[in-house]
Amino acid sequence: GRILRTIDGGNSWYVLPEGTTTLPANDYISTIAVSGECPNDLYAGGLADNATDGFLVKGA
């Protein structure tokens, strides 16, 4: 899966975090949150396919 961002009303989309392509196979994002201190920062987290390892990514 991927997190995508638009800054022009949906005409074009960018993969977040910048410079990445996709999450590893079978990983999925279960939570997305915007920083309370910086509204440009987005955090996403979830579980790996083994359901015991987690991950957290930040996009800005």
pLDDT tens digits, the chain, 60 residues: what are they?
567 778 888 899 887 666 555 555 556 778 889 999 988 888 888 887 777 788 887 877
- Euclidean distance between CA atoms 25 and 38, whole angstroms: 30
Model-level pTM greater than 0.75? no
3-state class (DSSP) for residue 31: strand
Separation CA 27–CA 29 (nearest Å): 7
Residue 31: what pLDDT? 87
Strand order in the sheet with 28-34: 28-34, 42-47, 54-59
The CA angle 30-12-5, to the nearest 5 degrees, is 25
- Domain layout of the chain by residue ranges: 24-60
